[in-house]
Amino acid sequence: MFKPLDPLLHSELRLAVMSILMSVDEADFVYLKEQTRATAGNLSVQLDKLSNAGYIEIQKGFQGKKPRTTCRITDKGLKAFEEYVEALRSYISPQ
């Protein structure tokens, strides 16, 4: 039986962001933009969606005089990602 896929994580860019954040403690906006090759505007919108869902935590601050935005995955986001991967497995290897 196929498990439902979380529509929030089923977006290529949001899934890429979550995948990156699974492997690091935190990542800044510039790093995520470089890794995903997304535009700043699109990445910003998608980060807001993940943040509003409680999947990531966004911190805004400064590094010297330059603004710096960092993101980290939350426990809720970690659980959602793991459930998403498990649901994908049901499509790859249906019972």
Instruction: Please report the domains of the chain, with CATH numbers, ordered by start residue.
Output: 12-87 (1.10.10.10)
| Nearest to 8, CA basis, from 37, 46, 44 | 46
- What is the structure's pLDDT at 2? 82
Q: How far is CA 52 from CA 20, 58, 76, 80, in A?
A: 18, 10, 12, 14
Q: How far is CA 43 from CA 16, 28, 94, in A?
A: 11, 12, 33
Q: What's the rounded mean pLDDT across residues 82-87?
A: 94
| Nearest to 40, CA basis, from 61, 66, 5, 13 | 13
User: What percent of the chain stands above pLDDT 70?
Assistant: 98
Residue 95 has pLDDT above 70, yes or no: no
Residue 1 has pLDDT above 90, yes or no: no
